Amino acid sequence: MIRNIRLIVEYDGSAYCGWQRQENGISIQQLLEESLGRMTGEEIRVVGSGRTDAGVHALRQVAHFRTASRLGERNLLMGINSLLPADIAVLEVRGADPSFHARFSVKSKVYLYRICNRPVRPALERNRAWFVWEPLDLARIGEALPLFRGTHDFTSFCSTHTDSPNRIRTILAIDAERDLSGMVHISLEADGFLRYMVRTIVGTLVDVGRGKLPPEEVAAILQAKDRRRAGLTAPAHGLFLKDVIYG
What string of H, E and C letters represents the secondary structure of the chain?
CCEEEEEEEEECHHHCCECCCECCECCHHHHHHHHHHHHHCCCCCCEECCCCECCCEEEEEEEEEEECCCCCHHHHHHHHHHHCCCCEEEEEEEEECCCCCCCCCEEEEEEEEEEECCCCCCCCCCCCCEECCCCCCHHHHHHHHHHHCEEEECHHHCCCCCCCCCCEEEEEEEEEEECCCCEEEEEEEECCCCCCHHHHHHHHHHHHHHCCCCCCHHHHHHHHCCHHHCCCCCCHHHEEEEEEEEC
* Residue among 53, 87, 137, 191 flagged as catalytic: 53
53 is catalytic: yes
Active site positions, annotated: 53
